[in-house]
Amino acid sequence: MRKLLVLALVGLAAQLVDGALGMAYGLTSSTLLLFVGVAPAAASASVHLAEIGTTLAAGVAHWRFGNVDWRVVTRIAVPGALGAFAGATFLSAISTKSAAPWMAGILFALGAYLLVRFARPLRSRTGVGTLRGRFLGPLGLVAGFVDATGGGGWGPVATPALLVSGRLAPRKVIGSVDTAEFVVAAAASIGFLIGLGSEGFLLPTVAALLVGGLIAAPIAAWLVRIVPAQLLGAAIGGVIVLSNARTLLRAGDAGPALTPAVYAVLVAGWVVALALAVRALRRARAADAALAEADAPAVAVPAGVAPAEARLAGADR
């Protein structure tokens, strides 16, 4: 019972992160499952089975709000499903001892990516044109393979690539990637079913992740309005890096003298990333305030009236 409660908290934490950032449900939940001792293949299989429910709900919601470009979904989902199926069968075929450092390495790299991305100003550009299949196909294939073998990564790989292309509005990018992820999660689950059998899915773990996610959904909607994505992304990236560094250090037989030095460097990098995220957030808010002030209508100040009184008079009109 205690373990199921912990797993429900894992699902809750992962959904909070995903709801606030629009990505990293699998990345966060897989990292935390590995941290509590779940085998790599079982962790990824259970996360993807749980994601079938969460991504279906997310896709329907995005469709109802008009956030889905179905042309992009169809062109990225099919190769994404192929990559996820291949990744699931690959992870199922290797031993747990070999899978642990492989999966930890992918998660470590994606966590480091989150640190770098959210330490910089969050900008997106929307240009003119369409996204071609020769770009979407390879992107979906790579993102799907990374997602299945790493236990997460579909959003962190696919979403930034589409945003940087500048051919699709940000809300359409997030909605299309989330909708396509349903097909990717289903394909990965089929791959794990073939490679591991039904016993490879930890159904109590899946149920606990779903329960935690359902509880966190309304909280995440509130959290995204309170906690800036800039800070949350940098904070979660550091947690993922440090958690998976432990597995990599053990796999590399790092000595007692090297381990503290590595952790010191990683913590220092995390602190720097958080400081840069705070600075970027402050600059973005200052720029928004300056733009709002520039767009505000000017209030004429009559002779003999103090500026504060003029502002009050303008507010009453």
In 3D space, the residue among 108, 77, 65 whose CA is nearest the CA of residue 241 turns out to be 108
**CA pair distance 140, 159, nearest whole angstrom:** 11
What single-letter amino acid sits at 208?
A
CA contacts within 13 A on the Cβ side of 238 = 21
In 3D space, the residue among 157, 154, 190, 159 whose CA is nearest the CA of residue 174 turns out to be 159
Query: What's the token pair of residue 258?
Result: 């090297």
- Which pTM value belongs to this model? 0.73
Q: What is the pLDDT of residue 223?
A: 61
- Provide the 10 A C-beta neighbour count for residue 126: 13
pLDDT tens, residue by residue, 119-151: 887 665 555 557 787 889 999 999 999 999 988
**CA pair distance 79, 75, nearest whole angstrom:** 7
In 3D space, the residue among 148, 227, 212, 240 whose CA is nearest the CA of residue 186 turns out to be 148
Q: For residue 230, what are the CA distances in angstroms to 25, 189, 240? A: 17, 32, 16
Characterize 44-74 residue by residue with b for buried, 16 or more Cβ atoms within 10 angstroms of its Cβ, and e for exposed. Answer: bbbbbbbbbbbbeebbeebeeeebbbeebbe
Residues 6+ apart with CB under 8 A from 65: 175
Q: What is the mean pLDDT of residues 214-241?
A: 73
**CA pair distance 10, 208, nearest whole angstrom:** 8
pLDDT tens, residue by residue, 195-220: 988 888 888 888 888 888 777 766 66
Residues 6+ apart with CB under 8 A from 25: 14, 15, 17, 18, 47, 51, 54, 152, 155, 213
pLDDT tens, residue by residue, 148-187: 998 888 988 888 788 777 677 777 887 888 889 899 999 9
pLDDT tens, residue by residue, 20-66: 666 778 888 888 888 877 888 888 999 999 988 878 887 887 888 88
Q: What is the pLDDT of residue 88?
A: 94
Q: What is the mean pLDDT of residues 98-117?
A: 86
Helix count (H) and strand count (E) of the chain? 12, 0
**CA pair distance 202, 3, nearest whole angstrom:** 12
Residue 310 confidence (pLDDT) above 50: no
Query: What's the token pair of residue 24?
Result: 């990293």
